[in-house]
Amino acid sequence: MQIHRSIRVGIGVVALAVVASACGGSGPKSAVESASDGKLTVGIKYDQPGLGLRNPGGSFTGFDVEVAKYVADKLGVEPQNISFKEAPSPQRETLITNGEVDYIVATYSITDARKQRVDFAGPYFLAGQSLLVQANNTDITGPESLSDAKKLCSVSGSTPAQTVKDRYARDVQLQEFDTYSACVEALRNGAVDAVTTDDIILAGYAARYPGELKIVGEPFTEEPYGIGLAKGDDESRAKINDAIDEMIADGSWERAFNDTVGASGYPVPPPPTVDRY
């Protein structure tokens, strides 16, 4: 009996070792490895007009979408072989670290805190935080006009929400929602007084609701948008940086911007310099 028990224990240990090796030994594929199989899964926003938007028929449009497709092409993957996955702001690092996406292009500001968990290629765009209000609002002209009577909406887990907490917590009541589209609906129905995020995102919403919403004040931060990918995936990061450089150099970056964000009236900014974070 003692011998049989030892055998059973030994078999169990071997089985556990095999399962552990199969499940987690090598970790998720790098973006380059996934591309070598001819397919990529890319995280984008689904609710940001002009940047990352899921249309009623299931197609996707926006500047971030075009950047994602250009990068995929340079990695050898055709558009029809890209699977787009929604990447809400609070979930972006988790999606990357869990291997659910190969990379993320979703108005993803490069910050020191995020670089503890993921790596970034880029930046591919430089934005700045601003404010969106109802068109008839004359009280709010910029962050300096905010007061504790005002309700300001942003998205939980976002850089703009953290900026408000760090700089303006005493001046305003911050409401944190899951998406900017929810913030915009709250603004339209009067539940909040303003929405804050990057100016290019706000421009898309202002264009969607012409005559109803407007951007006020000058940008009060600088937000470098990067392409997020797994920590330590240096080969993929280098190739994606090269792709961003090529997109800017061959004119595709400006064309993509004009075709997507241009309708909002947001002027074409100078392209950024890829810093190769």
For residue 139, the 8-state DSSP code is S
d(CA 129, CA 141): 14
CA 27 from centre of chain: 23
Which has more confidence, 28 or 50?
Answer: 50
Q: Is pLDDT above 60 for 265?
A: yes
What is the pLDDT confidence band of residue 60, given thresholds at 50, 70 and 90?
A: very high
Domain that includes residue 73, residue range: 31-126+224-264
Indicate if 194 and 229 belong to the same structural domain: no
Q: Which two tokens stand for residue 178?
A: 């899951």
> Please, what's the largest Cα pairwise distance for the chain?
86
Identify whether residues 39 and 120 lie together within a single domain: yes
Q: What is the mean pLDDT of the chain?
A: 89
Residues 38 and 118 in one domain: yes
The per-residue pLDDT for 171 is: 77
Beta strands in the chain (DSSP E): 40-44, 47-48, 52-54, 60-61, 82-86, 103-104, 118-127, 129-134, 151-155, 173-177, 194-198, 213-216, 223-230
Q: Give the tokens for residue 96.
A: 């990357």
Confidence of residue 94 (pLDDT cuts 50, 70, 90): very high
CATH code for the domain in which residue 65 is found:
3.40.190.10
Does residue 52 lie in a domain region?
Answer: yes
Residue 241 counted as domain residue: yes
Whether 137 and 118 map to the same domain: the answer is: no
Whether 23 maps to a domain, the answer reads no
User: Are residues 42 and 87 located together in one domain of the fold?
Assistant: yes
User: pLDDT, tens digit, for every residue of 187-237?
Assistant: 999 999 999 999 999 999 999 998 999 999 899 999 999 999 999 999 999
Whether 1 has a pLDDT exceeding 80, the answer reads: no
Q: Is residue 11 in some structural domain?
A: no
Residues 120 and 230 in one domain: yes
Shared-domain flag, residues 114 and 236: yes
| Nearest-10 Cα torsion for 174, 156, 216, 266 | 180
* pLDDT at 272 > cutoff 70: yes
* Measured CA distances, 216 to 33, 130, 184, 195, 204 (Å): 45, 7, 15, 11, 14
Q: How high is the pLDDT of residue 225?
A: 97
pTM for this structure? Answer: 0.84
Q: Would 196 be classed as within a structural domain?
A: yes
What is the total count of domains within the chain? 2
- pLDDT level of residue 17 (50, 70, 90 thresholds): very low
Is residue 17 assigned to a domain? Answer: no
Structure tokens at 206: 């202002």
Regarding whether 112 and 133 lie in a shared domain, the answer is no
Confidence of residue 27 (pLDDT cuts 50, 70, 90): low
| One domain, residues 97 and 178 | no
Residue 165 shares a structural domain with residue 179: yes
Q: Is residue 93 part of a domain?
A: yes
Identify any residues that bridge with 60 across adjacent strands, giving them in sequence order: 54
- The whole-number pLDDT of residue 28 equals 74
* Nearest to 64, CA basis, from 47, 54, 73, 52: 52
In terms of residues, how long is the chain?
277
**Mean pLDDT along residues 237-242:** 98
CA-based nearest residue to 192, from 164, 223, 157: 164
Q: Answer yes or no: are the C-beta atoms of 125 and 248 closer than 8 Å.
A: no
Neighbours of 27 (CB within 10 A): 9
List, for residues 136-176, the tens digit of each pLDDT value: 999 999 988 888 789 999 999 888 988 988 888 777 889 99
Phi, psi torsion values for 242, nearest 5 degrees: -60, -40
Beta bridge partners of 272: none
pLDDT value of position 18: 38
Q: Is residue 2 part of a domain?
A: no
Residues 40, 111 share a domain = yes
- Do both 108 and 229 map to the same domain? yes
Decide if pLDDT at 102 tops 60.
Answer: yes
